[in-house]
């Protein structure tokens, strides 16, 4: 198994746009052709758009674009700009009088960092499309990762900056990768060492060295802060259809479970998409576990790539 760049999977472009002063942004994936996709949403507070398209009983055979953004539910406006960009290029589902681009989206809650009134909108979504390329994927404080933070169960002053990350591998002809914006209530772990690398800080500005720190904090919190959510996607060249991709998205959540602790709480809205951009023959029992692996590695990459901003420390500051 070899590590590859996420863009080496092929079949899509990726672009970011962000408001560095307002500290929010969006990330767009544009597929070369309509791509079969699935989704698995867990946690109690998701903000999402067009997810019913990915239900196996829905007629849609695939999607043209995928948006990850900040702004909470306000950020769902960004997909309108992506649809405008695609329609102008005659990309979408043909309904006779026009073509309707099928664009799905999920958002993180980042209103507590930067300017609460700064939110991704149609203009920012369009800009992210204009910035989309087949080149290397920028990680850290870009796009949907601009306002991402982690370790918030001890309060804002003890949490850390995170970002957007990616990771991909290749086995023979099969390629599987992940893109994820990490905005978790919990702490972030390196699955290779099982060591905490980002999350809640103690009064000395150091990471709590105890996984039980959350349980002690949660026992005394009356109203758990709900401004979280980790959102991401698996991208593979395996030739899978919608039903199988829904299962892959479900299996990829095991990567969340390995790298984020705690995860899938009612204070999160964790979502994972899975998209096929190729036709390589592959067993779902290989693609699924690989998806969990690359997702966990991408989560660590998101934390390590972040830079401090607005008073939030990053991994590089520890």
Minimum mean pLDDT range among 34-43, 199-208, 232-241: 199-208
Token code pair at residue 304: 């390590």
C-alpha triplet 264, 268, 272: angle, nearest 5°: 65
pLDDT, residue 155, reads 83
**235 and 187 in contact (C-beta within 8 Å)?**
no
Q: How many domains does the chain have?
A: 1
pLDDT, residue 45, reads 73
Which percentage of the chain shows pLDDT scores above 70? 96
User: How far is it, in rounded angstroms, from Cα 278 to Cα 10?
Assistant: 8
**Domain range holding 112?**
2-317
301 DSSP 8-state letter: H
Token code pair at residue 311: 């008073």
pLDDT, residue 273, reads 98
Average pLDDT, the chain: 94
pLDDT band at 248 (very low <50, low <70, confident <90, very high): very high
Minimum mean pLDDT range among 68-77, 102-111, 125-134, 263-272: 263-272
Q: Could you report the per-residue pLDDT of 75-104, keeping only the tens digit for each?
A: 999 999 999 999 999 999 999 999 999 999
pLDDT, residue 135, reads 95
Q: Three-class SS of residue 143?
A: helix
Kindly report the CATH number assigned to the domain that includes residue 194. Answer: 3.60.70.12
Cα-Cα-Cα-Cα dihedral of 58, 63, 65, 67, to 10°? 30
Minimum mean pLDDT range among 62-76, 139-153, 200-214, 291-305: 200-214
Position 241 pLDDT exceeds 70: yes
Q: Centre a 10 Å sphere on the Cβ of residue 256 and count the other Cβ atoms it contains.
A: 27
Nearest to 39 by CA among 23, 26, 52: 52
pLDDT band at 213 (very low <50, low <70, confident <90, very high): confident
pLDDT, residue 223, reads 55
Position 69 pLDDT exceeds 60: yes
pTM for this predicted structure: 0.95
């Amino acid at each position: 198994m070899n590590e590859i760049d996420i863009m080496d999977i092929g079949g899509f472009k990726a672009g970011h746009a962000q408001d560095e002063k307002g500290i929010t942004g969006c990330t767009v994936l544009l597929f070369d052709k309509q791509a079969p996709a699935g989704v698995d949403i867990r946690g109690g507070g998701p903000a999402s758009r067009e997810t019913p398209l990915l239900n196996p009983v829905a007629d849609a055979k695939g999607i043209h674009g995928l948006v990850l953004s900040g702004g909470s539910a306000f950020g769902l406006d960004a997909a309108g700009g992506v649809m405008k960009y695609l329609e102008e290029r005659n990309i979408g589902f043909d309904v006779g009088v026009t073509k309707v681009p099928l664009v799905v989206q999920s958002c993180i809650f980042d209103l507590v960092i930067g300017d609460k009134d700064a939110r991704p909108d149609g203009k920012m979504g369009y800009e992210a499309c204009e910035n989309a390329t087949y080149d290397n994927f920028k990680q850290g404080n870009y796009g949907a990762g601009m306002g991402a933070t982690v370790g918030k169960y001890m309060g804002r002053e003890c949490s850390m900056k995170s970002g957007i990350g990616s990771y991909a591998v290749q086995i023979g002809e099969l390629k599987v990768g992940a893109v994820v914006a990490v905005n978790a209530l919990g702490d972030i772990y390196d699955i290779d060492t099982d060591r905490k690398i980002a999350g809640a800080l103690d009064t000395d500005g150091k990471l709590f060295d105890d996984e039980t720190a959350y349980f002690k904090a949660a026992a005394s919190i009356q109203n758990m802060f709900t401004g979280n959510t980790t959102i991401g996607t698996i991208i593979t060249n395996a030739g899978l259809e919608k039903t199988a991709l829904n299962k892959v998205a479900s299996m990829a959540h095991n990567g969340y479970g390995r790298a984020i602790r705690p995860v899938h709480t009612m204070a999160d809205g964790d979502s994972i998409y899975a998209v096929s951009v190729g036709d390589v023959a592959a067993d779902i029992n290989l693609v699924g576990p690989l998806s969990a692996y690359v997702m966990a590695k991408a989560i660590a990459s998101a934390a390590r790539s972040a830079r401090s901003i607005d008073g939030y420390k990053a991994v590089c500051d520890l």
